[in-house]
């Protein structure tokens, strides 16, 4: 089959198709981020890079069987400013609609974040207008990546691929994706209001898992109160999105705690605070950041798929990427 992937990033669509064993004759990738393209080409040198989506002409892609798109979501996200279609990044959605309507492939798949109902309705109306023969229109399918991974990542998917049901829960939690022998530079100790201060190592170079839910079986607690909170399991601790960068114990802002037997919150690409992981002890607190490989595993990406660029860029593109197992779950229903 021939595939056109818009806003391709690191070619998550190609990974999913490869995982399904679907033969791809031509995979055209529309992307402008040089680091994502570098990772894509390192893993799949046969991918054809076609540049900015705004410059694409539909007449050049008349033989396309599948269009994939995960248009920029910053203007839609409930966690963002919600400028929606006034945000130039989210307005790129209409480039997807333009090409979808003009090319009209056999199949398409569009992914985006949780958003206001009014935005969902606009997207559904626009997508449905491209396929008027679908009598009842194209409504989004809501799937949380937590069903197939150790990461809670709720997303909407619009597609004309038939028969999509919810994936079965695989019971994967954080302990299942952790590297037992993570390198020392990924570790960091912080002062928690007791004992002596300990040096921080490489603490500013970290991926972020957004802490926007809290709750669960572990309540929100203060940094200064960590020593009073005893856990029988190892735990992940990370900061509230609105809190400043981690510093020594003098900055005691709210943090959230996750145990190893829980799911992580979802990876993001636009923040650079710490994502420490580790053991909370009675008299000391030592965490380490999640490694790039652990973040790849949260997205069900092959280990070291992104290791062709710096860690900062790896974290960014993983935050922007798709959960491969969810995409594969949807694409497997295609008739090829």
Q: pLDDT of 16-32, one tens digit each?
A: 999 999 999 999 999 99
304 lies in some domain = no
120 lies in some domain = yes
Radius of gyration (Cα) for the chain, nearest Å?
A: 21
Looking at the fold, whether 151 and 7 belong to one and the same domain comes out as yes
Looking at the fold, whether 192 and 99 belong to one and the same domain comes out as no
Q: Catalytic pick from 12, 54, 73, 192? A: 73
Q: Is the dihedral of CA 159, 161, 167, 173 positive or negative?
A: negative
Looking at the fold, whether 145 and 193 belong to one and the same domain comes out as no
Instruction: Check residue 200 and give its pLDDT.
Output: 36
Looking at the fold, whether 117 and 226 belong to one and the same domain comes out as no
Looking at the fold, whether 90 and 232 belong to one and the same domain comes out as no
150 lies in some domain = yes
The DSSP output letter for 305 is: T
295 lies in some domain = no
Instruction: Check residue 65 and give its pLDDT.
Output: 98
User: How far apart are alpha carbons 225 and 296 in whole angstroms?
Assistant: 32
Looking at the fold, whether 15 and 131 belong to one and the same domain comes out as yes
Looking at the fold, whether 75 and 185 belong to one and the same domain comes out as no
Instruction: Check residue 315 and give its pLDDT.
Output: 83
Q: What is the pTM of this model?
A: 0.79
252 lies in some domain = yes
Instruction: Check residue 161 and give its pLDDT.
Output: 97
Per-residue tokens: 233? 């399991």
Phi-psi sector, 271: left (phi>0), alpha (psi -120 to 50), beta: beta
83 lies in some domain = yes
Please confirm, yes or no, whether 12 is among the known catalytic residues.
no
Instruction: Check residue 258 and give its pLDDT.
Output: 61
Looking at the fold, whether 31 and 145 belong to one and the same domain comes out as yes
Looking at the fold, whether 120 and 267 belong to one and the same domain comes out as no
Residues in the chain: 336
Q: Which residues of the chain have pLDDT under 70?
A: 73-90, 182-259, 269-289
Note down the domain range covering 226: 180-290
Looking at the fold, whether 133 and 240 belong to one and the same domain comes out as no
Instruction: Check residue 326 and give its pLDDT.
Output: 98
Instruction: Check residue 3 and give its pLDDT.
Output: 98
Output the domain CATH number for residue 85: 3.40.50.150
147 lies in some domain = yes
Looking at the fold, whether 110 and 188 belong to one and the same domain comes out as no
Single out the residue of 298, 278, 291, 316 nearest to residue 202, CA to CA. 291
225 lies in some domain = yes
Q: How many domains does the chain have?
A: 2
Looking at the fold, whether 130 and 227 belong to one and the same domain comes out as no
């Amino acid at each position: 089959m021939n595939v056109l992937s818009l806003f391709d990033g690191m070619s998550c669509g190609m990974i999913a198709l490869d995982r399904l064993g679907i033969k791809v004759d031509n995979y055209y990738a529309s992307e402008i981020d040089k680091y994502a393209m570098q990772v894509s080409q390192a893993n799949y040198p046969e991918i054809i890079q076609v540049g900015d989506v705004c410059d694409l002409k539909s007449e050049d892609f008349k033989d396309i069987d599948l269009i994939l798109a995960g248009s920029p979501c910053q203007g839609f996200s409930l966690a963002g400013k919600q400028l929606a279609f006034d945000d130039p990044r989210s307005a790129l959605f209409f480039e997807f609609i333009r090409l979808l309507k003009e090319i009209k492939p056999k199949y398409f798949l569009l992914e985006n974040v949780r958003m206001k109902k009014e935005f969902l309705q606009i997207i559904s109306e626009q997508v449905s207008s491209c396929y008027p023969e679908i009598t009842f229109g194209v409504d989004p399918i809501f799937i949380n990546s937590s069903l197939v991974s150790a990461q809670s990542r709720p997303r909407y998917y619009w597609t004309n691929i038939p028969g999509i049901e919810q994936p079965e829960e695989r019971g994967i939690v954080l302990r299942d994706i952790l590297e037992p022998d993570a390198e020392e530079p990924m570790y960091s100790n912080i002062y928690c209001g007791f004992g002596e201060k300990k040096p921080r190592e490489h603490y500013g170079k970290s991926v972020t898992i957004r802490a926007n839910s809290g709750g669960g079986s572990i309540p929100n607690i203060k940094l200064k109160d960590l020593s009073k909170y005893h856990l029988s399991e190892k735990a992940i601790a990370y900061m509230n999105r609105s809190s400043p960068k981690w510093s020594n114990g003098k900055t005691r802002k709210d943090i959230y705690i996750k145990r190893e037997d829980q799911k992580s919150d979802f990876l993001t690409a636009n923040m650079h605070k710490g994502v420490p992981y580790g053991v909370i002890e009675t008299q000391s607190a030592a965490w380490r950041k999640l490694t790039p490989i652990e973040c790849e595993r949260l997205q069900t990406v092959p280990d070291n798929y992104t290791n062709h660029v710096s860690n900062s860029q790896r974290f960014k593109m993983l935050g922007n990427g798709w959960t491969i197992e969810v995409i594969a779950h949807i694409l497997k229903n295609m008739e090829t």
